Structure 1
């Protein structure tokens, strides 16, 4: 679908006048070119119109943010007043009950006959119940109103993205049609000075999270230690990491905050962007031993880092060590840390000082238990020894802004969302002084995206990183909303993703031969068609002043969320791509037979889709779409050479009987097509749940992709048992040869030949066994993904024994003759 049509369908009708006039700007270019050749005057007029549209969009967004902030503040006052009123009412009720109980006891002691008389307690009870219902109704109304505010924030984020895309596309169209180059100037002098599209809405989302949590819990939010793990005694911990495209940042945060509040350590402190910043310095040596250990997941592999929260002025640094444990050890991977003052870090790393006195002082003051102090002392000594013996130095810095979602005191569901992830070189190995003799470089802080650094020293990660940590009871399922979130279009699962590993692999390519499995995925667009899961929806019984459809409502109804068109060629209003398909072998640069096969398949799909009385003038693109009452879905987002090549060369086994989009049975029965689909980077729609198993990841030249291989002790034991079994069999065969030669006539040449044959087979089997044992041990230690099954050995041994027996019997039979 062309962007001009997309923006008309996706915009919020009440804000229609505030969107970029994309059609008007496109018409401006066409009309001027129809009259004469584009000149400097036309260019000036176009820039003026473009700037006017930009001012309109920016002003509307600023006003809307102010309006939302005021609305949230108003609701905040109302919620706090309601909570105070509810608490006061409960207190009055409690006091009244106590007074009434005292009066009844006194009255009964004076007039026992009054116990038999009726009273008016029913009226008081009904009044109390009425008050409770009134408060509950007000809380329900407020929760509904806040749900509408959440939808407004979501729609405003969509407004920013849609308008930014519109500006980029119209400038690109201008450059292509007019011959004037405007893109660079517009991005630098206009968009960068008014970066409305970079609005993160973090402050508004944080305020909404606090407020919505108060209303959801009816003024009694969960309190407790944010680092506590709850009271569970037997639980399963599951941690999974996901990538999130920037287009989905706002929606993802809003979806989560409706179930979990944003974790804030100091609720009374106003929001500051620095509070979300987290920086870490990872250490390694020139051989990258720690990198290799973490990449290959070897037992006991360590990652040592220094971390701080906030800006460069923070005085407390945390020394952390993460240790990987294999499942067979019965232990869990652990992260341990201790604090150290920033001015002591260099002396500690160089071995000039220890942390013994500092931690002993904590023990004497009673600030830490003996167990905690002993643990920190042990950790500090081990880290210091590792830095010295392994010659560890600063290698990579990671920086990101973290939004954490968790109920304080309850670690059953913990979600962290990291954005603006940046990886920065800290080493001095190439002769360039970065950190120098200091433990970190001082020429940067938290000023993302670090414009003062050369491109070779930094890697700006293009996605956000979502980490979901679950602690569930044995046999218990995770919450339904979590399962919907991780299976929605908002996230892309990347198990075992590591910031440290990714930083070393991208910033130190000359030192890294083995790269992580997710590195080839960086070239793939992770955006997927929207599903019905994890959507921001307005309440059905809304009190809002408008009933017009919003992007939130529209997307939840028909799932027509905007995905970036793969082609910018939108000039022709007709079905231009239909005519070009006759020559697609040439313009798509593919084999003519492959093009003919693709064309024949599309035609077959078209016949399957057409029913009795269907129109024959449908294009092949429309024919490949299932019938739908609303906007139909295309096989391609746009038919381009890249997309056609990807379709023809893809490894999907397309079922000719069912097609790519829907099962044939559903089409014949007239059932409505399933609305949620998965997609790949080329925009091809696939049936949900369909998995492509890729057997050939391609790394860059000279690199290998690390394939995680689990090695447990039972693998070594199995190798030893197999070796011992072969040795035992070889001894038995050699004993047969020795027995033959021992109990036969010394002049019997046949017995001598038989004994020699069996003894030779035994010796060869022993040599083969030793060689196989050594090969398997080396392969296991090096974690080689090879086939350990021995196909040749047993067959060769049986064949040799058969030959020995046949030779023995043949010679004896010949002797008898």
Structure 2
């Protein structure tokens, strides 16, 4: 779909006259023909683009930008006023409810309860808040679509003319940054109000602490990638079911409250922590230092994540303790004793002796590993997190991480980044960290949704969670890790074993709407995300589309197109996908500073040519119309053949097997690793896998023994014909034994190396049956010939 058509079909009716006039701007780029078009020459040369044309176009562009910017500001201010009005109404209703206390109306004094809020009052408040939520959603989509329109028209301008407007207009966009509005403050406020109304003035109470009170905790976590276009919509949907987790309700929300930074350690010679986490070996560890908020934070959490295989009966665990920032270097160097760290905690007596001993043991183990394994700061991850959870209730916790950035912390390559300190001090939480050189920073293009459940065995997650995670808004990713992605991308010359998702980063994850799901305005149908049609390829006139990629893709499939990717610019492509997997860790960035064109939609050049030909008429128009019809018919014909031709269909894997909430399809394509690199594919290896291979070998051994026994019997108790048959059965038994031994050794070797090989035997059983059949037939033929049955006949 072309962007002009997409704009017309996706715009919000109430905002109709406030969108960018994309078609008018596109027509403004066309100068008059030098000579009138004719049937023989339907495309004569146009007059060259002049300075007057440039001034006229820039003036029109400025008017469009001013209109969009003004409307966005007005609408944003209107939402702020509506939220304040709703907040007053909600507080009034809740205060009346609190004044009544636990009492109920009685027949003796009904007048005392005349002002008690009714269920209808709460329903009206809920409808009003739902309407505001829909307004926030619509404004976010309006902003995204207009921003894309400006990027597209500037790119079209720079292609058609010799004037480069993009750098100049980027400054104008910064002066009127309608697309830079952050809706997190709206979301936090709406979440609080909606939770009050949804619970009828009785919200869940509990401890909202995210770190201090939790030392060791086990969770079942699945992770999903979210495209920047869907971030605000996803937050608005979740807040209707879970409130935003605010650690300090009395404090006004600030951007830095959601910032989380972590520094991961590794050995630069062996990369043992990276390799262990990538291969998911039993007991693989990740050691990191984490802090919340700005770089001035004094509380540093020293954490160790330990992976446990399922067959051990244990769950992967994250354990941590808090350390003051001024003591981090001394602790890592071994100059600070573990006892001194917890001396104050022991004096205060806020924790039991058993808890303190466990923390001391954890600190000793981490300090010992850092020193003996020569672990050093390798990668920093930064992101802003929005968490959704009932306070004090960890059964369902959902977090959405945005603006994920990975930064190098090492002192390799002759550069002193962190020096002798445990972290570099030239950056804080100032995303997108434009002061860093491109080789030091990796900005992830998506957000990461983490769904963490603590459910009893056999218990299903909430239905709304299953619907959410199977919707078009998210894309599940198996075994994903911030640490793994950052290390593999920031150290390309040192890391040769890559995660399987890395070659797929140039594939966009947006998908069409698969079922009715989205933000609904009260009394109206769902307002679906505009991302349902954003699946087409860019680009524009030059037709530099990429061919469909082949290879292993567990994220998306379909048409692909490219854009530049270096430094602050990222490749973005579009494909369709319907696959759902599990995940492991990661995050996203919405739009980097000075973002490049947003590569969306098909080329519009072909439509322009068709319109010109239609105005001229004649055979030129008929030929172009016939060509387009043939292309369309050919596409339908190929699709029909693919549908009708018989082909194997993969069976759907169960939801419990994939670890994905709600289950879903799993699709995989093959990708080739870059030269000199290898792609690691996650393979589950349990003790029963070895036993299964051994049982298969023993079954073949049993067959070989039986066949060998038959051969021995024929050899010892038969005649000349039986002797020949015995040789045939002996050959089959020996070949089966040697074949089964070779297959068994090959399987064991690949299982130990955790390779994703084809372990099923395609040829062995067939060859065994054919060999037995040949031996039996030869025995029968020799016996018949000896008895002279053919001559008697």
TM interval, short-chain normalised: 0.7 to 0.9
Q: 1:190 aligns with which of 172, 177, 185?
A: 172
Contact 1:256 1:405 in 2 (8 A): yes
Q: 1:655 aligns with which of 616, 634, 643?
A: 643
Question: What does residue 371 of structure 2 align with?
Answer: 388
Q: 2:507 aligns with which of 507, 518, 524?
A: 524
Contact 2:229 2:531 in 1 (8 A): no
Q: 1:712 aligns with which of 674, 679, 686?
A: 686
1:59 aligns with 2:70: yes
Question: What does residue 347 of structure 1 align with?
Answer: 330
Residue 38 of structure 1: how far off its partner (Å): 2.6
Q: How does 1:391-402 map to 2 (within 5 A)?
A: 391-402=374-385
1:167 aligns with 2:150: yes
TM-aligned CA distance change 1:577 to 1:727, over 3 Å = farther
Q: How does 1:96-111 map to 2 (within 5 A)?
A: none
Higher helix share: 1
Residue 72 of structure 1: how far off its partner (Å): 1.0
Question: What does residue 111 of structure 1 align with?
Answer: none
User: What secondary structure does 2:286 align onto?
Assistant: strand
1:780 aligns with 2:755: no
Residue 722 of structure 1: how far off its partner (Å): 6.9
Q: Greater CA deviation, 723-732 or 423-432?
A: 723-732
Residue 383 of structure 1: how far off its partner (Å): 0.9
Contact 1:484 1:533 in 2 (8 A): no
User: What secondary structure does 2:175 align onto?
Assistant: coil
User: What secondary structure does 1:171 align onto?
Assistant: helix
Q: Matches of 1:45 and 1:60 in 2, distance apart? A: 23
Q: Matches of 1:730 and 1:178 in 2, distance apart? A: 78
Question: What does residue 139 of structure 1 align with?
Answer: 122
What does the per-residue CA deviation read over 1:709-754, in whole Å, with 9 as the maximum and x for residues that have no partner?
111123344556677899999999999999xxxx9xxxxxxxxxxx
What does the per-residue CA deviation read over 1:353-376, in whole Å, with 9 as the maximum and x for residues that have no partner?
222222243133211122221221
Question: What does residue 108 of structure 1 align with?
Answer: none
Residue 28 of structure 1: how far off its partner (Å): 3.3
Q: Matches of 2:208 and 2:732 in 1, distance apart? A: 69
User: What secondary structure does 2:403 align onto?
Assistant: strand
1:85 aligns with 2:91: no
Q: Greater CA deviation, 273-282 or 370-379?
A: 370-379
Question: What does residue 786 of structure 2 align with?
Answer: none
TM-aligned CA distance change 1:693 to 1:733, over 3 Å = closer
User: What secondary structure does 2:278 align onto?
Assistant: helix
Q: 2:206 aligns with which of 200, 224, 232?
A: 224
What does the per-residue CA deviation read over 1:401-447, in whole Å, with 9 as the maximum and x for residues that have no partner?
00000111222211100010111111223222222222111111111
Residue 386 of structure 1: how far off its partner (Å): 1.3
Question: What does residue 722 of structure 2 align with?
Answer: none
Q: How does 1:494-533 map to 2 (within 5 A)?
A: 494-533=477-516
Q: Matches of 2:695 and 2:668 in 1, distance apart? A: 35
Q: Matches of 2:677 and 2:623 in 1, distance apart? A: 41
Q: 1:455 aligns with which of 400, 413, 438?
A: 438
Q: Greater CA deviation, 408-417 or 424-433?
A: 424-433
Q: 1:485 aligns with which of 456, 460, 468?
A: 468
Q: Greater CA deviation, 394-403 or 491-500?
A: 491-500
Residue 516 of structure 1: how far off its partner (Å): 1.4
1:266 aligns with 2:248: yes
Q: Matches of 1:8 and 1:730 in 2, distance apart? A: 72
Q: Matches of 2:407 and 2:238 in 1, distance apart? A: 30
Contact 2:517 2:528 in 1 (8 A): no
User: What secondary structure does 1:459 align onto?
Assistant: strand
TM-aligned CA distance change 1:435 to 1:731, over 3 Å = farther
Question: What does residue 56 of structure 2 align with?
Answer: 45
Contact 2:707 2:732 in 1 (8 A): yes
1:10 aligns with 2:10: yes
Q: Greater CA deviation, 31-40 or 297-306?
A: 31-40
Q: Matches of 2:199 and 2:386 in 1, distance apart? A: 21
Contact 1:404 1:417 in 2 (8 A): yes
The structure number with the bigger radius of gyration is 1
Residue 128 of structure 1: how far off its partner (Å): 7.1
Q: Matches of 1:478 and 1:580 in 2, distance apart? A: 58
User: What secondary structure does 2:138 align onto?
Assistant: helix
Q: Matches of 2:406 and 2:703 in 1, distance apart? A: 58
Q: Matches of 2:703 and 2:344 in 1, distance apart? A: 66
TM-aligned CA distance change 1:470 to 1:434, over 3 Å = same
Question: What does residue 110 of structure 1 align with?
Answer: none
Residue 2 of structure 1: how far off its partner (Å): 3.6
Residue 306 of structure 1: how far off its partner (Å): 0.6
Residue 766 of structure 1: how far off its partner (Å): 10
Q: Greater CA deviation, 345-354 or 53-62?
A: 53-62
TM-aligned CA distance change 1:143 to 1:779, over 3 Å = same
Question: What does residue 572 of structure 2 align with?
Answer: none
Q: Greater CA deviation, 48-57 or 554-563?
A: 554-563
Contact 1:360 1:373 in 2 (8 A): no
Contact 1:222 1:408 in 2 (8 A): yes
TM-aligned CA distance change 1:693 to 1:527, over 3 Å = closer
Residue 469 of structure 1: how far off its partner (Å): 1.5
Question: What does residue 638 of structure 1 align with?
Answer: none
**Long gaps (5+) in structure 1:** 98-120, 230-234, 541-551, 588-594, 605-647, 659-688, 744-756, 811-817
1:567 aligns with 2:603: yes
Q: Matches of 2:153 and 2:734 in 1, distance apart? A: 80
Residue 140 of structure 1: how far off its partner (Å): 1.3
Q: Matches of 1:483 and 1:472 in 2, distance apart? A: 14
Contact 1:25 1:170 in 2 (8 A): yes
Q: Matches of 2:513 and 2:231 in 1, distance apart? A: 14
TM-aligned CA distance change 1:574 to 1:568, over 3 Å = closer
TM-score computed with the length of structure 2 as normaliser: 0.74
Q: Greater CA deviation, 530-539 or 783-792?
A: 783-792
User: What secondary structure does 2:429 align onto?
Assistant: coil
Contact 1:294 1:301 in 2 (8 A): yes
Contact 1:238 1:471 in 2 (8 A): yes
Contact 1:262 1:405 in 2 (8 A): yes
Contact 1:532 1:556 in 2 (8 A): no
TM-aligned CA distance change 1:603 to 1:715, over 3 Å = closer
Q: Matches of 1:5 and 1:723 in 2, distance apart? A: 62
Contact 1:228 1:410 in 2 (8 A): no
